Chain A
Amino acid sequence: MKRIKEIFKKYWLCLPLRKDYFLFLLLTQALATTANILIPYTAAGIIKFLTINDYATAIKWTVYFSLAGTSQFIFTYFNYYFGGKDSIYCYTNLKRKAFEKISTYDIDFTKTKNIDELLQASSSDIYNVIEINGNLSDIIITFFKIILIIILITLVSPIVGTIVLIFCILYLILIDFFNAKITYHLNQQKKYQDKLAGVFIEAMSSADELKVYNMKNSFKNYFTALNKKFSESFRKKRRYSDIEENFLQLIIELGEVIIYFITIILLFNGNFTLDKIVLVIGYFTLLKEDLSYLLIDCIQNIINKSISVDRIFSIIKYKPKDKIILGKDNTDDIEGIVEFKNVTFSYLGKKTLKNISFQAKPKELTAIVGQSGSGKSAILNNILRLYIPDSGQITIDGKDIYDYTNEVFQTNVSVVSQKNFLFNLSIKNNLALVEPNFKKQQEICKKLGIHEEILKLSQGYNTILEDNANNISTNLKQLLSIARSILTKAEILLFDEITSPLDKQSTKKVIKIFKELSKTHTVIIITHKKEVMDQADHLIILAKGKKVADGTVESLQNNKYYLNLENGSSCSKE
């Protein structure tokens, strides 16, 4: 019982209980249950009047019998109605919450969270749990119903009532014992099931590796061990649940036999009547059904769903590393002067940027260069408000970047990374996420020289990009990301190593695009390609998180850091 309390505590922290729905659920359930109890009572009434040959009254009781059934139907109908309302409430709100929550995650969440698990939680787990408030109301009412039935039996015969009470207590104790065991093994089983699924996915992702490194056999051994463990945990869980279902059922059935036995002896001693036997047995049959309903449908059901609740809880209660508070400034006439003032920033406990100051101006191409690990990407992520500096300030047009609203910021600062994500939509719709006007989309694509290539695709602009745009070439994907970025009409454009997966021809094309864009925008690029950085108006060189050089390419010709960069970058000159 404690376990169930914990599950609901968590569940209601994810989504507050709609008390009105729950109240109606309880009420209708209680009424339906009352009607349900009246059914054996009226049936016993029929038998009672038949034993004394009073046929007219017996017929009257058959009418009562049918009325009891009818009212049970009506109340249950309303119970289902409110249950449905509550489920819809839970489903839509949990889904929205998950969506909102995920959008606040920091971009490095994959370091601590598993994407597959998050996905499972936000999709199937939510779908799984939407009816558990209804299950709870079932448990509560069924519990009271069992108590009521025991009282009713006691009223008919205190001796039988006591026996039934003892059986019920025994039953509930045993349920708790078995459920603890089952839950443990169920968790084990789920754990191995997740691992198995993980291995399958790994095997799929590494189809090439398995072949070319001849690892099939050793990986298969690894898998087989896991598969055996899964079966073992499965077998253990089943062992307990098999005993539970059959053994507990038998206890209750033997209880019925004992009731027959005692009541018959009482009857022949003249202390009992036949209709009372029928009534007591009728009540007990109800009790039998309710106990197994409580066990199998309600309690086990909820326990089976506890893993889903846990996973939803961990999504919704996940605390992102930094809580970013965004401002309210929505003046949308940004010129595009980006300035770092003594910015220091640590990442995973390591100082990644040390006291950096620089300015990137509109209508200039600023290149940030340096060895890998020198802090280039950290600069961009700080500008994008994806990371927060430890100290210092970053401003756009003299205003702190955190003063701007999300809307203004996103439409004025845009980024293209080395690896971009394009949504599982058509090319047109991907671009429409930022600019719905198809004409404008085409214009930009023409400018970037990909219009022709898109038209050559089988569906043209309507080609659906599948699996993060794996069905188009890397070049086209990269250029489409640039198109998307430009379509935001942002004044400040950031490009993070976008030429590295490109071949030389496309790199040259992209350099031209940089030059073109920098005539009207603030363009900041990160690159390690010599031919790219040499085109910049303004070069910033970083080493180990510090700015070591700043100036035009010409002015840095004799700078040792610049020469160091050049060293070995093109062996053809040697």
Chain B
Amino acid sequence: MNLLKKIKEIFTIIPPKKLLTFLFFLTSTIGYVIAAYFPYAASQIIKFITENLKYNALLYTLYLAIAYITYELLWYLNYYIYSKLQVYYSETIHNKFFDKIINSSQKFTKKIDKGKMLSLVNADIPNYCFLIDSTVSYLSAIIMVFISSFLIFKANVLTGIIAMLSTIFYLLFITKTTTLFAKYLKAEKKQNDYTNNIYLEELTGLKEIKTLPIRTKLEQQLNSKLKNFTQAFTKKRKYYEHNENTSDLIPHYTKFLLYLILIIYLAKYNATLDLIILIIGYYDQIVESLNEMLQSYTEIEQYYVSVERIKDVLYFDDKLSLLYGNYEEDNIFGSIVFKNVTYETKEKLYFNNINFEIKPHTLNVIVGKSGSGKSELFNLLLRFQKLTSGDIFLDGKNIYTYSDSIYSSNITLVKQEPFFYNMSILNNLKLVTKNKENIITACQKVGIHEFIMSLPKKYNTELNQNAYNLSDGQKQLLSIARALLTDAEIFLMDNITSSLDQKTNNEIVSFLKKLSQDHTILVITNRDDLIAAADQILCLDNKVIKSYSSFSELQEKYSYEDKGEEK
């Protein structure tokens, strides 16, 4: 029952191609049936030879040739259909994954980490395609076992009974060893996965390993994992041996018994030699189909875990899309109002009933201790997170009434640690706008154009490994240029100046001041010069927010950094 449920799931998590799947099943079943003809033809050849009927013998060799050709053609068709199915499934799953990723919130990365994504693409999706094959093989092989058993009974009842008994015994033996094999294989893989983490840590923490006396400790960890692996491997190997080698003894001794009985038959009753050839041939076929059936069964059991893992992605739902409305008019000016906003997560109450207003075309800074909720404020504004109660208004309309495309094209973010793709600088920016002139203008505005032109490949310089070849400051400037290209009205900037040197920082401050003439800007910062340049200072403290109109007012009324103490 359990197996049936699994099979059903395999065929339903992706909309199935019913006709192709049916043809796939049909061709493999007919293929097996044709295979049942081979021992019959062989025995007929022998029979006509013993009866001295030359032409009949030759005729059956011709039949055999035709059977072989039909058989291989049929399998070719079967493989062809399977390839089509594989392409369909892998392409569809890739597409679904991609849509899922780009439409999900940050929660997605928490549930499915990058290592898991790698193995999903490299192992689980191909495995899923194999599963389709295994399931169909399993079903066809069952049919084949029945057909061969029936034929053997028809030829001779006594040998039929022996073949049946031995088949049942074989089945029991193999089922047991396969189950144990699968169990230890899983354990072995798990141990191997544990070593992954050690390498990941070694690679990401290489500097620590080189500068702190911790290498031996990590090495000990690795060695203990290797020891566990060896144990699991040895056990798995034992059942693998049983499966592949010891189990062969059962059909072999059965054949021995069949020969003995058939010889007695030949001696006592007037049976003919071709009977032996036929029965041994059918018996070989039962064993073969049984092996096929069990192998497919093991594959289903073994690879089913991939279906579970694919489901984790496909069925992931953060209910984010529920937050978006369908207001489509694109005439946003940029006034923001927080009204009685409360935001609380499982861990923490961030904002308790906060109220403030941001006027269009002003430069606003947000200050506060780390952990006071500055980034959360941005997440709420970006609709990445849903607020607990209260309302946020953009141009007098609740932010949740705007459609996804209108909202995201009008409000943009520059992160503290921006991300760039493994493409050239130009292609990275082209993802936002196709217009190259605009791209260059934006880079000139933020003052990164000259640097880019000084690179040997200029705008075609490839950015590798999240732009490792740029300094943090350069990355920051490039990411501001990217944000400019969106034509957004509202800019959110998260600690963008922390990795800039003084000179660049000064330039950025005056740039932001200029930008605020026709944009609404919110900046998280702890830099005095930026705070001093702001039109409004929002100070987050103890779950509430206070607004100040100038730096001196802030210093006067609020000693958030104990400035007075120092003076």
Contact = CB atoms under 8 A, between A and B. Distances in A.
B57 interface: yes
Contacts of A230: 90-91, 94
Interface string B429-445: 01110000000000000
Given A109-B206, A504-B526, A193 B229 contact: no
A434 B213 contact: yes
Given A50-B263, A99-B198, A261 B61 contact: yes
A239 B215 CA distance: 49
Interface stretch (A174-182, A495-503, A536-544): A495-503
A553 interface: no
Contact of A242 (B79, B119, B206, B465): B79
Interface stretch (B1-9, B246-254, B394-402): B246-254
Contacts of B419: 202, 205-206, 208-209
A372 B253 contact: no
| A-side interface mostly | helix
A322 to B, nearest CB: 12
A278 B281 CA distance: 12
A525 B542 CA distance: 33
Given A105-B206, A208-B106, A213 B113 contact: no
Residue of A110, A210, A246, A473 contacting most chain B CB atoms (<10 Å):
A246
Interface in A270-296: 274, 277-278, 281
A219 interface: yes
Contacts of A231: 87, 90-91
B551 A227 contact: no
B76 interface: yes
Contacts of B103: 216
A201 interface: yes
A122 B280 CA distance: 48
A107 B206 CA distance: 7
A361 to B, nearest CB: 21
A363 interface: no
A521 B101 CA distance: 49
A214 interface: yes
B415 A502 contact: no
B122 A193 contact: yes
A347 interface: no
B114 A201 contact: yes
Interface residues of B, number: 153
A214 B469 contact: no
Contacts of A155: none
Given A99-B199, A246-B76, A261 B58 contact: yes
B518 to A, nearest CB: 19
Contacts of A23: none
A98 B421 contact: no
Interface string A113-137: 0111011101110010000000000
A50 B273 contact: yes
Contacts, number: 387
A119 B382 CA distance: 35
A572 B551 contact: yes
A227 B91 CA distance: 7
Contacts of A201: 114, 117-118
A207 B49 contact: no
B154 interface: no
Interface string A439-451: 0000000000000
Interface residues on A, range: 35 or more
Residue of B73, B108, B526, B528 contacting most chain A CB atoms (<10 Å):
B528
Given A66-B253, A261-B61, A371-B502, A386 B207 contact: yes
A73 B215 CA distance: 46
Contacts of A102: 199, 202-203, 206
A233 to B, nearest CB: 11
A63 to B, nearest CB: 8
Interface stretch (B12-20, B63-71, B296-304): B63-71
B528 A572 contact: yes
Contacts of A410: 211-213
A340 to B, nearest CB: 18
A212 B370 contact: no
A99 B199 CA distance: 7
A528 B500 CA distance: 10
Contact of B68 (A199, A253, A413, A423): A253
Nearest to B486: A213
A260 B59 CA distance: 11
Interface in B218-276: 218-219, 222-223, 226, 229-230, 233-234, 237, 240-241, 244-246, 248-249, 252-253, 255-256, 259-260, 263, 266-267, 273, 276
A313 interface: no
Given A62-B260, A123-B196, A503 B64 contact: no
Which 6 interchain pairs have the tightest Cβ spacing? Answer: A571-B529, A421-B205, A69-B252, A197-B121, A238-B83, A253-B68
Given A218-B431, A250-B68, 8 more contacts: A80-B240, A103-B209, A109-B206, A196-B121, A211-B382, A234-B86, A253-B68, A261-B61
25 contacts: A51-B273, A55-B263, A69-B248, A70-B249, A98-B199, A115-B204, A119-B199, A124-B119, A124-B123, A197-B117, A203-B98, A204-B101, A208-B382, A213-B485, A213-B486, A216-B102, A218-B432, A230-B94, A249-B75, A274-B50, A410-B211, A415-B207, A467-B113, A504-B561, A569-B502
Interface of A: 43, 46-47, 50-51, 55, 58-59, 62, 65-66, 69-70, 72-73, 76-77, 80, 84, 87-88, 91-92, 95-96, 98-99, 102-103, 105, 107, 109-111, 114-116, 118-120, 122-124, 127, 193, 196-216, 218-220, 222-224, 227-228, 230-231, 234-235, 238-239, 242-243, 245-247, 249-250, 253-254, 256-257, 260-261, 264-265, 267-268, 274, 277-278, 281, 371-373, 384, 386, 407, 410-411, 413-415, 417, 420-424, 433-434, 467-468, 473-475, 484-485, 488, 500-506, 508, 528, 565, 567-572, 574
